[in-house]
Amino acid sequence: MTNTALLATMTTAYEKYSYTDAYILGFSYKGNVYMVKADNSVLPYILTINKASRGAGFALRFIPTVAQKIALLAMGAEVLCSTLYLNETAIDSGYNKGEIFEMLVTEHYGQEWEKDYLPFYKGADLTTKEGEFQIKFERATFTTEKQLARLAKIA
């Protein structure tokens, strides 16, 4: 299977099992961290396939290129904080950048953040009056082939 076909297959399967079809995506660009709301329609254009760790096959990941970041900016991305602030907060807190991004987005919406371990198929990362969102920062893994195979068996 080509990478393009695998990307399409995994994206479709992810959408089938995902609890929500709305996302808040984050990325660093020119010294700032941006956040943008998107729905499933953007996933085929921003996700990529990489080898997963620990024998999980391939992984569906959000690793935006500069061109993809520019496209996300055009979709109405807004500055959340500086890249320096995100990086320093991650170092000082012991959390990774994705977790800190999730915390900052949650606080942006006036809510208190608490680290959760809820999988993408059981619930959202954030619920607002606008809906339920998964929150993903650049370099995030959406899912793996192994995880999708497990979900297909229990569906």
- pLDDT by residue, tens only, the chain of 155 residues: 778 899 999 999 999 999 999 999 999 999 999 999 999 999 999 999 999 988 889 999 999 999 999 999 999 999 999 999 999 999 999 999 999 999 999 999 999 999 989 999 999 999 999 999 999 999 999 999 999 999 999 86
Residue 38 CA to residue 21 CA, distance in Å, equals: 9
Domains held by the chain: number = 1
Domain containing residue 55: 3-154
Neighbours of 92 (CB within 10 A): 9
* pLDDT reported for residue 13: 96
* pLDDT reported for residue 134: 97
* pLDDT reported for residue 3: 84
Find the Cα–Cα–Cα–Cα dihedral 58, 148, 14, 144, rounded to 10°.
-30
List, in order, residues 6 or more apart from 46 with CB less than 8 Å away.
Answer: 25, 38, 62, 64, 68, 71, 72
Identify the residue whose tokens are 């009056």.
129
* pLDDT reported for residue 2: 78
Return the bridge partners of 32, or none.
Answer: 29, 82
* pLDDT reported for residue 53: 86
* pLDDT reported for residue 56: 87
Residue 144 CA to residue 102 CA, distance in Å, equals: 21
Is residue 126 a contact partner of residue 14, using CB atoms and an 8 Å limit? no
* pLDDT reported for residue 18: 96
